[in-house]
Structure 1
Amino acid sequence: MSYAVEPGRDWVVRPMESSEIGLAIQWAEQEGWNPGLHDADCFRVADPGGFFVGTLRGEPIGSISAVRYGEHFGFIGLYIVKPEFRGRGFGYRIWQHAMHSLVGRNIGLDGVLAQQDNYRKSGFQLAHRNIRFQGVAPRTRGGPMTDLAELPFEQVASYDRQCFPAPRDRFLAAWIAQPDCIARAAVRNGRIEGYGVLRPCRNGYKIGPLFADNVHAAEELLNALFARCAGANVALDVPETNAAAVALAERYGMKSVFETARMYTKEQPAIALARMFGVTTFELG
């Protein structure tokens, strides 16, 4: 049944309350996105004012995140409208609100490939695809790696900034310290050569980020993380432009299950894609 909706009365887009981020994560689970068990807490820390909910006559029916990083970058994710309310323009209204909140910034997103044309209408241009590889973690011996918590945080954050378009220290600190996750670094002569994080999800585990100077360090980290979840389902999101990362995932029997389009509204950030063997998260970049 169609009916008139009066903006500002029947229809409102507003910042999420802290507890409502968990609702968006629940919707993401229903969409089959397999979020992490502690994603809501980590996401909230990244930018408490960067999450929005659309309500129709008081009922939450849609969500979006528009997280601000630094002074010049933002990232959109968690763009969901409950199935029974789709096709009525509510999603676009939430989208407009999120875009307005990031005006002036270079905005990134990981969108489904079929929606690229719609994103282009909002000024986004394709940078590259990200490929989700999934499989069963093999039983590996896993060489000695350094616990990330043993390293000075600034050293970890400095490495992260080579692979992400803006500082994200608050998020990063929460991400590597979340309950039940494994965070390891490859260190040589006191210098970080890479780091990786394994986190528990609704189904199995995800590895992300997996950043490394070269494929040798990435493989050492991957083996160390596999050793902590052997026999479980595990996913790794790989930039297609990093051929060594794609080959590494395939070498361990992981299969491509879907792809996203990494897009930006301005120039592609000057980040070290050759060091990106695994994206942190499609929702927050």
Structure 2
Amino acid sequence: MGDGEFHIETMNREELETVLHWARHEGWQTGLNDADAFYHIDPEGLFIGKIGDELIGSVGGLVYDKLYAFMGLYMVKEAWRGKRYGKALWDAAMMRLDGMGVKIVGLDGVHEMLLQYEAEGFRPAYDHVRWRYEVNGSEKLLPTVFNASEKDWNAIAAYESQYELELRQGFTARWLNIPASWSMYWADHQHGEIKGYGAVRECPGGYRVGPLYAHDVTVATELFEGLCTQANSGGHMFLDVPDVNKVAIRVAENRGMEKVGSFMRMYRGGIPSVAIDQIFSVRSVEVG
């Protein structure tokens, strides 16, 4: 146990690695190499709670650009729970967001925290249902699906801007450059108009698919199969699917995927309009 008083600091890059280790230990299946992409969204919005030098809790209140932010990585180590340290961390992050004039704040939370989040002014929008799919070797890479390389990054960033409430400067390039990850896009011909994009990164127990954006179910299905061809046969692919996208849910069910969890997407400041019927797996429940 740490000695000294509880205090809150801005998290550094090394401390974020520790927090992501906590998240994986809690079963969040955070990507094995997410830290760099997460950290550079908004370094000043990452908070760490300490007793002396011991890290005991965390939260991220990450501003995308100016008006939208996402709350995540909200954890307190088990030995220190029930002492209001989590609430102090939460208040520090929200105070910063309020001071910056952020209009809408989103989060993905566990259902057990619903009443607490509602007390903070958040309202449920829908659930992200986590599905697990076992790669079986029958998946095919079709001619409409292409591996994304660095020369494609600007086009992919432009395409996925329709699913972002605000542009996160440089974020797409960092996401596509995560170690032990791969990404693909769907187009009628190479370097043609992009109508779908997906990325996969390694996580405990398999691979996290996120995002998976597609104009329609055919694009989504072909992209998903293409992404699976890069995974080990027998490996598990995890998708976080909005439950209001009924087509995406049917795809998961028809492919024999197993439902293994869910998170509440909640907002404070109003529920924004997004093309939810084209989101077949959200990018991240940790940072939006």
How does the TM-score come out when normalised to structure 2?
Answer: 0.93
Match of 1:213 among 196, 202, 215: 215
Total equivalences in the alignment: 278
Cα distance between partner residues in 2 of 1:192 and 1:81: 41
Tell whether 2:192 aligns with 1:193: no
Q: Retained in 1: the 8 A contact 2:214–2:278?
A: yes
Question: Can you give the 5+ residue segments of structure 2 that lack an aligned partner in the other structure?
Answer: none
Q: Which amino acid aligns with 1:172?
A: T
Match of 1:109 among 107, 114, 136: 107
SS at match of 1:269: coil
Q: Retained in 2: the 8 A contact 1:138–1:227?
A: no
After superposition, the C-alpha distances for 1:85-138 in whole angstroms (9 at most, x for unaligned) are 001111111111111121132100000112111101111011111100013123
Cα distance between partner residues in 1 of 2:26 and 2:157: 32
Which residue in 2 is equivalent to 1:143? 142
After superposition, the C-alpha distances for 1:169-207 in whole angstroms (9 at most, x for unaligned) are 422211111122110000126211010001111221010
Cα distance between partner residues in 1 of 2:151 and 2:13: 30
State the 1:152 CA deviation: 4.0
Alignment of 1:1-285 (within 5 A): 10-103=5-98, 104-105=101-102, 106-139=104-137, 140-144=139-143, 145-149=145-149, 151-188=151-188, 190-229=192-231, 230-285=233-288
Q: Retained in 2: the 8 A contact 1:10–1:58?
A: no
After superposition, the C-alpha distances for 1:185-241 in whole angstroms (9 at most, x for unaligned) are 001262110100011112210100000000000000000011111310110000001
Cα distance between partner residues in 1 of 2:80 and 2:39: 26
Q: Which amino acid aligns with 1:233?
A: H
Q: Which amino acid aligns with 1:175?
A: W
Larger mean Cα displacement after TM superposition, 260-269 or 135-144: 135-144
Cα distance between partner residues in 2 of 1:77 and 1:131: 17
How does the TM-score come out when normalised to structure 1?
Answer: 0.94
Q: Retained in 2: the 8 A contact 1:138–1:252?
A: no
After superposition, the C-alpha distances for 1:232-254 in whole angstroms (9 at most, x for unaligned) are 01100000010111111112211
SS at match of 1:161: helix
Question: Can you give the 5+ residue segments of structure 1 that lack an aligned partner in the other structure?
Answer: none
Cα distance between partner residues in 2 of 1:222 and 1:92: 39
Q: Retained in 1: the 8 A contact 2:153–2:172?
A: no
Identical columns (%): 35
State the 1:153 CA deviation: 2.9
Q: Which amino acid aligns with 1:209?
A: P
TM-align CA RMSD: 1.5
**Structure 1 residues 151, 250: CA separation in 2 closer, same or farther (over 3 Å shift)?**
farther
State the 1:151 CA deviation: 4.7
